[in-house]
Amino acid sequence: MKQNELQLRVNFGDTDAAGIVYYPNYFKWFDIAGHQFFRSIGLSPAKLMKEQNIILPLLDVGCTFERPLYYDDIITIKTTAEEVNRKTIKLRHEVFRQDVRTGHGFELRGWVKEENGRMFAVPIPDDVRQLLEEDGVGACVHMNPLLNA
């Protein structure tokens, strides 16, 4: 299955009063990593919407937290297309500080068409399914690890 990696820096605002990363930030990072994953394989969500009226809404998400992260840590998020079903794509995310995994989780996204103000799930095209199911790494997407939303 297709894979991608993304590095981010933990900002001061990502931490709580105890000085560790506040848990909802993992979900923000999963969202950023998911969008970067799709861009890295030529499926930019903005381009899909503009050219095909396809959106990739989040249907389900989960995370297991294993170790704390702190301000200024550089993290690597490894994203893999774990499952490609008829109308959904499940992305698996693993978060690392150096070689230590600090958490892991998933996003389940729908393949949804927006038309005349309505949204409805449609089958994932065969060429997209094949692209997602190929082994390999998506094109390198350069992102300065000093930047983070």
pLDDT of 76 reads 95
Domains and CATH numbers, the chain: 2-137 (3.10.129.10)
Q: How far apart are CA 6 and CA 145, in angstroms?
A: 8
Q: Express each pLDDT in 30-45 by its tens digit.
A: 999 999 999 999 999 9
Q: Express each pLDDT in 51-65 by its tens digit.
A: 999 999 999 999 999
pLDDT of 60 reads 97
pLDDT above 80: residue 148: no
Across 53-62, 99-108, 126-135, least confident range: 126-135
If one counts every other C-beta atom within 10 angstroms of the C-beta of residue 149, the result is 10
Structure tokens at 106: 């998933």
Q: At 117, give phi and psi (nearest 5°).
A: 75, 5
pLDDT above 90: residue 142: no
Q: Express each pLDDT in 3-28 by its tens digit.
A: 899 999 999 999 999 999 999 999 99
Q: Which H or E run contains 130?
A: helix 126-133
